Amino acid sequence: MEHVKHCSSCRTLSEKTICNICANDIRDDTQLCIVETPTDIHAIEQSGVYKGKYFVLSGYLSPIDGIGATELGLDELEQKLRDQNVEEIILATNATVEGEVTAHYISNMAKQFDIQITRIAHGIPIGGELEYADINTIAHALSGRKNYD
């Protein structure tokens, strides 16, 4: 454990200066998925559908706890968007109030760059039944409905 540090590129936990995902040239540099914790990277990797890179906030905006843009590494993120060839950032913060606020803040910051800003979908979880979903999730599932093809 004493060798564990933060990846200097994406801020995830790693025993190397640059983590395995950041060091992997096969992964798509143009997509950057922004998550709250290293565990979220693990969850997304398990799904096997994402081939881009990550940026770990290690938390969410919480001024009352003294966690602001600096603590979340948003300066580093801004620098990354300025210097690197990122074409899309995917806001994958949690679907909680704090996660939404953090996503909104990052989106505002990223608007100065010519990149696509997307947010992961919210709605009924796969395998889930409508009658057991809470009203906010149902409201989002309806307002976020998509053309079926």
Residues that bind its own copies (CB under 8 A): 35-37, 39-40, 42-44, 46-50, 90-92, 94-96, 103, 107, 116-131, 133-149
Q: Judged by CB, which is closer to its own copies: 4, or 130?
A: 130
* Of 82 and 111, CB closest to its own copies: 111
Phi, psi angles (nearest 5°) of residue 55: -140, 125
- Cα 109 from chain centroid (whole Å): 14
Q: Which is nearer to its own copies, 21 or 124 (CB)?
A: 124
Q: Take residue 148 and report the two structure tokens written for it.
A: 């079926």
For residue 71, which of 80, 58, 83, 84 has the smallest C-alpha distance?
Answer: 58
Q: Is the dihedral of CA 103, 108, 110, 115 positive or negative?
A: positive
Cβ closest to its own copies, residue 83 vs residue 132: 132
Minimum CB separation of residue 2 from its own copies in Å reads 25
Smallest gap, in angstroms, from Cβ of residue 133 to its own copies? 7
Task: Report, in Å, the least distance between residue 93 CB and its own copies.
Answer: 8
Q: What are phi and psi of 71, to 5 degrees?
A: -60, -30
